[in-house]
């Protein structure tokens, strides 16, 4: 059992200590604008191994390498195509991860043996300060137990990984609440492997030929993470499309099932009382930012079934529907 130290990111001394742990091969979780990451030195195989072990993550699922400046890319990427520079100019720092040809300076375990490496420049100032101070490429998977919803608060990191990692830089809940968009620029057309904080529409404004990866058609594709179970709370997650469907589902449930609801539309008054917890979101962005923390809150309460309202799969709604779909085991 490791003691997980809670660092205050507002104290410079705490930031220095967290960076020193990373330089010495330790694991420190830190906030980003998307979700918390579990940082380790991407050039240290023992450190990377520890991150996989702490999460219980399958070793065929590669990690994202976090950098503070595009100038660092030449150390870790074999080449950086023009289109990658355009995406960086428009969206970085921010919630975009770019898959590029790799160099050997990043250990094989980080990239799960692929000949590419995923690079991201987080915007969050605590993440940036830590990356600058550590002055290393930091591999950081989301700081949750593998298969569980990502952690959007430091308390959620401690719930999942307390005693398994060296420290966590505390700080405010993450703004965006779902992970970065992953785009592969090593193919003929830039291809979105995971939708997230930067929308497909935004990417297409920069490059109209951006494609969306379709796992049904192309199962060989190099995003191994898509094969695994993801984002699942202990409660059953059920996606509902419309009010009539909501009533039909409710009628099918036993009275004693402990229910929760999250969505943009309010529940009809007549049925609200059947729900032990409900969260009405202002819009899709608000829905995305609180989805994972709502899942975790429901688990703490012992909720058995969470009904999630479906939204249009456009803009941030596309990433939201992806996460709800996976959480429901689709
Ligand atoms: O917002 C985020 O991206 C967060 C924060 C901490 O940066 N990180 C995150 O990491 O979500 P993780 O490990 O939970 O998800 C990384 C995703 C996985 O789907 C993985 O398969 C994909 O990135 N990935 C990593 N390297 C890749 C590569 N070389 N080629 C294709 N996909 C890759
Ligand atoms: Mg993850």
DSSP state of 197: S
The region, left, alpha or beta by phi > 0 then psi within -120 to 50, assigned to residue 171 is left
Interval between CA 141 and ligand 2 midpoint (Å): 6
Sheet strand arrangement including 275-280: 236-240, 305-309, 259-263, 275-280
Mean pLDDT value of segment 136-141: 98
Which atom, in ligand 1's list, is nearest to the CA of 116? Answer: 29
Instruction: Tell me the whole-structure pTM to 2 decimals.
Output: 0.95
DSSP state of 279: E
User: Please, what are the domains in the chain?
Assistant: 5-212 (3.90.870.10), 236-327 (3.40.50.11030)
Q: Which of 182, 229, 288, 316 has most ligand 1 atoms within 8 Å of CB, for mutation?
A: 182
The phi, psi pair for 240, rounded to 5°, reads -120, 140
Q: Which whole-number Å values give the CA distances from 144 to 37, 164, 308, in the listed order?
A: 8, 11, 21
Interval between CA 60 and ligand 1 midpoint (Å): 12
198 pLDDT higher than 70: yes
Interval between CA 70 and ligand 2 midpoint (Å): 23
- Taking the C-alpha atoms of residue 94 and residue 278, their distance in angstroms, rounded to an integer, is 31
Mean pLDDT value of segment 150-156: 98
Question: pLDDT exceeding 70 applies to what percent of the chain?
Answer: 95
3-state secondary structure of 125: helix
Q: What pLDDT was estimated at residue 2?
A: 87
Which atom, in ligand 1's list, is nearest to the CA of 117? Answer: 29
**Residue 260 in contact with residue 276, Cβ under 8 Å?**
yes
288 pLDDT higher than 80: yes
112 pLDDT higher than 90: yes
pLDDT band at 262 (very low <50, low <70, confident <90, very high): very high
Q: What pLDDT was estimated at residue 222?
A: 52
22 pLDDT higher than 90: yes
CB distance 37 to ligand 1 below 6 Å: yes
């Amino acid at each position: 059992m490791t003691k997980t130290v809670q660092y205050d990111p507002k104290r410079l001394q705490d930031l220095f200590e967290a960076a020193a742990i990373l330089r010495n091969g330790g694991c420190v979780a830190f906030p980003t604008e998307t979700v918390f990451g579990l940082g380790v030195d991407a050039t240290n195989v023992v450190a990377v191994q520890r991150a996989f072990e702490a999460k219980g993550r399958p070793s065929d699922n590669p990690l994202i390498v976090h950098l503070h400046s595009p100038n660092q890319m030449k150390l870790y990427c074999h080449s950086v195509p023009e289109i990658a520079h355009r995406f960086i100019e428009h969206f970085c720092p921010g919630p975009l991860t770019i898959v590029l040809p790799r160099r050997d300076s990043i250990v094989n375990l980080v990239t799960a043996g692929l000949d590419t490496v995923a690079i991201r420049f987080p915007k969050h100032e605590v993440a940036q300060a830590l990356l600058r101070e550590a002055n290393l490429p930091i591999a950081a998977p989301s700081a949750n137990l593998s298969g569980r919803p990502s952690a959007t608060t430091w308390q959620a990191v401690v719930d999942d990984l307390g005693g398994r990692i060296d420290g966590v830089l505390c700080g405010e809940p993450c703004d965006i609440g779902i992970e970065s968009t992953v785009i592969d620029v090593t193919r003929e057309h830039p291809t979105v492997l995971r939708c997230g904080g930067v929308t497909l529409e935004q990417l297409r404004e920069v490059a109209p030929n951006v494609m969306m990866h379709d796992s049904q058609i192309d199962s060989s594709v190099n995003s191994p993470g898509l094969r695994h179970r993801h984002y699942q709370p202990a409660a059953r997650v059920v996606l509902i499309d419309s009010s009539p469907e909501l009533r039909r589902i409710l009628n099918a449930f036993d009275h004693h099932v402990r229910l929760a609801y999250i969505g943009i539309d309010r529940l009809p008054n007549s049925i609200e009382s059947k729900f032990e917890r409900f969260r009405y979101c202002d819009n899709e962005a608000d829905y995305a930012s609180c989805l994972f923390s709502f899942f975790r809150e429901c688990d703490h309460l012992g909720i058995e079934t969470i009904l999630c309202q479906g939204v249009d799969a456009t803009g941030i709604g596309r990433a939201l529907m992806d996460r709800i779909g996976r959480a429901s085991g689709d």
